[in-house]
Chain A
Amino acid sequence: MLHRFANPTRFLRIATLVQPWMAWSTILLAGAGLYLGLLSSPADYQQGESVRIMYVHVPAAWMAMFCYTGMAVSAGVGLIWKHPLADIAAKATAPVGACFTFLALFTGALWGKPMWGTWWVWDARLTSMLVLLFLYLGYIALANAFDDPSRGTRASSILVLVGFVNVPIIKFSVDWWNTLHQPASVIKMDGPSIDASMLWPLLLMAVAFNTYYLWVLLIRIRAEIVANKIRILRLKQVHG
């Protein structure tokens, strides 16, 4: 089943069909999420209006980890089964994941200043998110550092898999170490501890970020498949 869709030509056909759905889903979900998050949801009883930063900060942080997990799975599939589309998916995800990580850090700093009195602290959650940003940037640099793209893919895939150890560290850092960052309030064993009036805009924005990611991912995978074809054509021209 997976192998059927993993054929680049078939994938291109499916991607062209799915892409508009992702685009419209992103626009509609983000519109609804922004309306509820900025206008309809209440201020927090402790944090006041500043809680509204949550509706972009938390989805960005979730997507930063989601993208990296996706990259690790793709890199693993690429390394083990040598599947070209898996490597392409990992490469296409990296810049989007880096953007989400940057946004999580940036919006976190803007939320931290009024709530904690500081833009930044070197605690486990913030530091492990910064490490995640460097892992993304390291992956992008390494993937493009070799003349032979297959060597770059192999080296960068190994880096992604080694760096995956950071993802559970990010998730559980608030439980394992003392931190200014608040613990999980949505993804918990005993259910969310956040009121529905705030949970809905948060979930809508999270799904909107997810469909945005899929939208951009499809575009970037299509671009990468065409780039590979260009590379092959140029090599054929050079070698006759």
Chain B
Amino acid sequence: MDVIKEFLDMGGYGGYIWPSYIVTAVVLIVMLVASQRLLKGNEATIKALEPAKKEETGEEKT
């Protein structure tokens, strides 16, 4: 227990070190998830648009 407490305390600098790591992780994960959602959203939109385009041009699905 003391080992964990000591590790989290980081020689009295825990209040500066942990927020650095936590905010870095949060920002990078949010950026990754947002980018992935943007891609999925765009892929869903184009899937919805393409059948409409094929119908207009009289193309048939293969």
A residues with a Cβ closer than 8 A to B are 34, 38, 43, 48-50, 52-53, 56-57, 60, 95-96, 99, 102-103, 106-107, 110-111, 113-114, 212, 215-216, 219-220, 222-223, 226-227, 229-230, 233-234, 236-237
Is residue B50 within 8 Å, beta carbon to beta carbon, of the partner chain? yes
A219 engages B24 (CB within 8 Å): no
Number of A-B contacts (CB under 8 A): 91
Q: Say what secondary structure dominates the interface of chain A.
A: helix
B39 with A222: CB separation less than 8 A: yes
What residues of chain A lie closer than 8 Å to B32, measured between beta carbons?
212, 215-216, 219
- B residues engaging A (CB < 8 A)? 10-13, 16-17, 19-21, 23-24, 27-28, 31-32, 35-36, 38-39, 42-43, 45-46, 49-50, 52-53, 56
- CA gap between A234 and B21 in the complex, in Å: 43
Q: Give the residues in chain A near B36, CB-CB below 8 Å.
A: 219
Known: A48-B13, A103-B24. A96 touches B31 (CB 8 A): yes
Residue numbers in B under 8 Å from A56 (CB-CB): 20-21, 24
Question: Given contacts A43-B11, A56-B21, is CB(A111)–CB(B38) below 8 Å?
Answer: no
CB of A237 within 8 A of CB of B56, answer yes
**Alpha-carbon distance A230/B43, docked complex (angstroms):** 9
Residues of B within 8 A of A57 (CB): 20
Distance in angstroms from B51 CB to nearest chain A CB is 11
